[in-house]
Amino acid sequence: MLADTPEQKDRVFLILTGVWLFTALFLFGNPVILDYLHPPKSVLLGDESPSNVRPYLGILVVLGLACVLGFSRLAKPKLQLPAGVPKWLAWLPSAWLGWQLLSFLQTENEAMSLATVIHFASCLAAFYLGLFVLGRMRLARLALWGAALGLALNLADACIEKFGGLEQTRNAIIEKIESGKLNPATLPAKAHDAGKTIPEEIEKQIAALSPGTAAKVRQLPLELVKRMYSTRLYGRMFYPNALSGAILLLLPVSLALLLGQGRWRMPRAALALGLAAVGLACLYWSGSKAGWLIALALFGAWFLHFPLPVKLKISLVGVAMVIGLFGFAVKYADYFDRGATSVGARFGYWRAAAQTAMEEPLLGTGPGTFQIAYKRHRVPGAEPTRLTHNDYLQQASDSGWPGFALYAAFIGGAAWVLARRRLGDPLMVAARLGLLAWALQGFVEFGLYIPALAWPAWLILGWLLTAPTNQFDKSAATE
């Protein structure tokens, strides 16, 4: 049979987990409350109203099977915590989810909150799968190859976009409109955003089309129009900043997997070098300003692991930071000259989230409902949004200050525990760097609400917490 022996059952579990991670990065780069908004390439699939609902439920079934098989393999059915993991930290996510369920009972939009709560529950499943199961398996790292392959697929897709793919996609959509195969007027009403205007630089390009085609292009959802005419790369993700999040989270892990112990060291080193070059190039081409700054922070944190004198390490990191910040200033000088509109917009989102939390301090407006609350506090003329672009403040707005406190305590507590660990395994060091990037990006983005980012992060976090408290004792990481 497929899984007659314990070793075969472990292998099936690791395969299921790898498939789940790969599929997440391949299909689920959208925020869970924005199911109808997809990258431009999805328009070419022939379905004018694509939905991820059925595939999402299907991959949740795969996660469920992995949980059933994984937890059935536990040597200690009582779910005893691995050594070195504080009980309060292990159960904080459950308390946070419980508060989300309370908030759900009085939500302002049941559909949005239901999708969000289901997603949060899947994140908890991933966390406990990593904490109780993956961390006890000797070959646990094999499951992470699914995430590495998913990242590689995103990078390949992004490179195709860079070298002609974006223009080809745009021309193909316009051709479908001109031939009548795509009628923008038939798109769901919810995909259209009243009151929004097309940016001036994009409007100039649309005006160069024939009058009839230009009129139809203007009927497309504004998000789709912006992606059609953008030069920023997004791969399989929702938008460029999400691609940068995937790179920051998973590129260190992928490189550590390639450079790990095993045969074919030279070919693997060559592949790692190529992947690093492509990954950093795609991070640059994504145009993510926060991604650039977080990458600098990761580089500094990684360099501090080198066995060099402390003063020398600090000096070298300082020089690298100055060079990186100088390059950042030169690259985005025009952006800041134009007023840094996205930065100003985010401050507006955060102010609205804080105001909502002050008005609804106990339970908020319901999980995933910031879009509704924002309409009440939006300054006239301000850019609309559906998410807070800050995972922490969104908890305060959606589920009140207790929701914010529980989530912030969990992420902060995990960071504190992991920062005190002496990790000797390069893969674990890389995983810690990736999680640091994910947590930092949560201050300016919404990675918690994107399955492709949240699932790997929560799984890796649970797995990493099982790491031995020092590099010489690895008994806690085996079954």
pLDDT for res 473 = 35
Residue 12 counted as domain residue = yes
Q: Going by C-beta distance under 8 Å and a sequence separation of 6 or more, which residues neighbour residue 100?
A: 116, 117, 120, 367, 399, 403
C-alpha distance across the termini of the chain, in Å: 23
Longest dimension (CA), the chain: 71
pLDDT tens track for 274-303: 999 999 999 999 988 888 889 888 888 877
Q: Of 164 and 316, which is predicted with more confidence?
A: 164
30 DSSP assignment: S
Distance CA 209, CA 89 (A): 57
Residue 203 counted as domain residue = no
Residue 205 counted as domain residue = no
- Which range scores top for mean pLDDT: 28-37, 308-317, 376-385? 376-385
User: Is the predicted pLDDT of residue 449 greater than 90, yes or no?
Assistant: yes
Residue 229 counted as domain residue = no
Residue 192 counted as domain residue = no
pLDDT for res 44 = 47
pLDDT tens track for 114-147: 989 999 999 999 999 999 888 888 788 889 999 9
Residue 126 counted as domain residue = yes
Distance CA 402, CA 381 (A): 32
The pTM score is 0.88
Distance CA 459, CA 294 (A): 21
- The answer to whether residues 387 and 449 touch, using CB atoms and an 8 Å cutoff, is yes
Mean pLDDT of the chain: 83
Report helix, strand or coil for 354. Answer: helix
Distance CA 458, CA 127 (A): 5
What share of the chain in percent tops pLDDT 70? 85
Residue 458 counted as domain residue = yes
Q: What's the number of domains the chain is made of?
A: 1
pLDDT for res 188 = 55
Residue 195 counted as domain residue = no
Q: Of 113 and 177, which is predicted with more confidence?
A: 113
pLDDT tens track for 300-356: 887 777 776 777 767 777 877 788 777 777 776 666 556 556 777 888 899 999 999
Look up the domain containing 378 and give its range: 6-182+235-472
Q: At what angle do helices 341-359 and 370-377 cross, to 10 degrees?
A: 100
Q: Of 58 and 249, which is predicted with more confidence?
A: 249
